């Protein structure tokens, strides 16, 4: 296969502008356009052990490919979720969250390509679009330790056939029974039972009490190598 890339310096003003690509394979010619930023990402993947996508829209913020697997970052909006705590179903307010899933690519069974684990969860404030320098905060309830690592007890995530299936995977986290493991993590230092049963029972979460991790999105997750 032969690929020819034409870059018009007069038209190219930023990384979002397009370049002309001509692909020749077995005598067949295909012409198409590709954003310069995406083209650089392809070259980075081919020459290094890790390739990072640019920031992605909607709930899939970003994904990285490393020698150990694929990491996918999903944004979960601030809202009230129904959870199980002390054998009771309750509605609890949660802050805006970032979930990091770790995927291993392998032939598992028919129609399943990836094994999935939910690696980390952190919280963020506000409604602005996430950027590399967005400050991050502790997940305020149980299931998650003070470094963002997730423990869901005996609950495991199913294997998937494509990365897009992660879009609603967070519902399995909220459906797993909440114990007291790791306790609560807020600036008020209120016990977990009070946060769940009183403070935010059927109430929107007050993000003013989020406990800072003193780090930013990219720095915390060691991202940004190919986003310069």
| pLDDT digit string, tens, across residues 194-218 | 999 999 999 999 999 999 999 999 9
89 vs 84: CA distance, rounded Å: 5
In the chain, the DSSP E strands lie at 2-6, 18-25, 28-35, 51-52, 60-66, 69-76, 79-85, 88-94, 96-109, 112-124, 135-137, 212-216
**Mean pLDDT over the full length of the chain:** 83
CA 161, distance to chain mean position in Å, is: 18
pLDDT of the residue at 24: 72
Most confidently modeled range among 19-23, 153-157, 174-178: 174-178
Tell me the pLDDT tens digit for each residue of 66-82: 877 889 999 999 999 99
- Helix spans in the chain (H): 36-47, 170-175, 192-194, 217-220
Report pLDDT digits (tens) over 73-127: 999 999 999 999 989 999 999 999 999 999 988 766 666 788 999 999 999 999 9
């Amino acid at each position: 296969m032969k690929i020819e890339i034409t870059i018009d310096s007069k038209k190219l003003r930023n990384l979002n502008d397009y370049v002309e690509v001509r692909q020749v394979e077995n005598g067949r010619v295909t012409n198409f356009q590709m954003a310069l930023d995406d083209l650089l990402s392809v070259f980075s993947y081919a020459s290094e052990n890790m390739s990072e996508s640019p920031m992605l829209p909607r709930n899939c913020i970003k994904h990285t490919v490393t020698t150990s697997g694929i990491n996918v970052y999903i944004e979960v909006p601030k809202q009230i979720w129904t959870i199980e705590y002390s054998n009771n179903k309750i509605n609890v307010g949660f802050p805006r969250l970032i979930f990091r899933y770790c995927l291993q690519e392998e032939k598992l069974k028919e129609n399943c390509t990836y094994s999935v684990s939910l690696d980390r969860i952190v919280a963020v404030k506000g409604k602005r679009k996430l950027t590399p320098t967005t400050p991050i905060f502790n997940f305020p309830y149980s299931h998650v330790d003070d470094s963002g690592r997730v423990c869901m007890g005996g609950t495991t995530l199913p294997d998937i056939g494509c990365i897009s299936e992660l879009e609603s995977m967070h519902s399995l986290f909220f459906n797993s029974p909440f114990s007291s493991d790791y306790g609560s993590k807020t600036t008020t230092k209120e016990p977990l039972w009070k946060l769940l049963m009183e403070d935010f029972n059927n109430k929107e979460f007050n993000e003013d009490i989020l406990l800072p991790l003193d780090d930013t999105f990219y720095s915390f997750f060691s991202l940004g190598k190919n986003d310069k």
